[in-house]
Amino acid sequence: MNQTLEMLEALKKYLKAKGMTYRQLAAELGLSETSVKRMFSQQAVTLNRLEEVCKILDLELYDLALMARQQSRNTANVLSLDQEKALADDPKLMAMFYFLINGWSVEHIVSEYTITEEESTRMLVWLDRLGLIELHPSNRVRLLVTKNIFWRKNGPLWTLYFKNILDDFMNHSFELPNDRLLFSPGVLSEASLKTILKKIDRLFRQFNDLAEMDAALPLKGRYSAGLFIEFRPWVFSMLADLRKQKP
């Protein structure tokens, strides 16, 4: 894939993650929607036009190039059970892997956490053998996986960490400006249930897409965040207890 196509593919993914349509972008550019679609389908785009689109998205062209490079490198989207088990068996290895997929350099990891240079080298070699990274001289790393792929439901990592993560995540007041803790009960039709589920799935995909692309950006200006979504058919137990028992 050539570099122009890689950048346009990254730009399409970023537009989708941001929730911006071709029509909205066309309006910002002063073009027709057809022209914008042609720009992406035929790769008919100049450097000036790319810079203009990036400005609308509050994105540096250099950052877009980093995103395109990251996107073209990531291939695997599911870990094997052996890979998960290896991470679950070694908390430091799992932490090292987590930092790497979020764009941390080895030097920064060693400077910020209780991981020595010797340990980092050992773990990098092991991650390479597991097929999670490609290790290059001077501890340069090429990732072979995408973002947030290691939480296979009921897999080794989920079984080991999920309850602790959930307890730790919920042990918070959720009163800061960037916090959200919302609850709204309601009675929905089957059609509305399906609509809500589609929106939840879309939001979760957007979160993962943005996290994956932003992993290519400089560490400064990025913030660790967690998204927890729970939805199910539900009746408050206090009300359920009042229901008459049918014969």
pLDDT category of residue 150 using cuts at 50, 70 and 90: low
CA-derived radius of gyration, the chain: 22
Specify whether the CB–CB gap between 81 and 156 falls below 8 A: yes
Domains identified in the chain, total number: 1
pLDDT at 122: 96
Instruction: For residue 210, tell me if it sits in a domain.
Output: no
Instruction: For residue 51, tell me if it sits in a domain.
Output: yes
Q: What is the mean pLDDT of residues 122-144?
A: 92
* The pair of three-digit structure tokens given for residue 203, joined into one six-digit string: 């939001």
Q: What is the CATH number of the domain that holds 8?
A: 1.10.260.40
Instruction: For residue 47, tell me if it sits in a domain.
Output: yes
Q: Is the dihedral of CA 211, 70, 77, 84 positive or negative?
A: negative
Instruction: For residue 95, tell me if it sits in a domain.
Output: no
Instruction: For residue 7, tell me if it sits in a domain.
Output: yes
Instruction: For residue 196, tell me if it sits in a domain.
Output: no
For 84, list phi and psi in degrees, rounded to 5: -60, -45
Instruction: For residue 14, tell me if it sits in a domain.
Output: yes
Specify whether the CB–CB gap between 8 and 2 falls below 8 A: no
Model confidence pLDDT, tens digit, residues 195-231: 999 999 888 888 888 887 787 777 788 888 888 888 9
3 state DSSP class of 133 = strand
Provide the residue type at 190 as one letter: E
- Angstrom distances, CA of residue 141 to CA of 86, 101, 123, 132: 19, 10, 12, 10
Instruction: For residue 23, tell me if it sits in a domain.
Output: yes
Q: What is the mean pLDDT of residues 25-53?
A: 88
Mean confidence (pLDDT) of the chain: 85
Q: What is the mean pLDDT of residues 180-195?
A: 90
pLDDT category of residue 73 using cuts at 50, 70 and 90: low
* The pair of three-digit structure tokens given for residue 53, joined into one six-digit string: 């689109």
Range of the domain at 40: 3-73
pLDDT category of residue 30 using cuts at 50, 70 and 90: very high
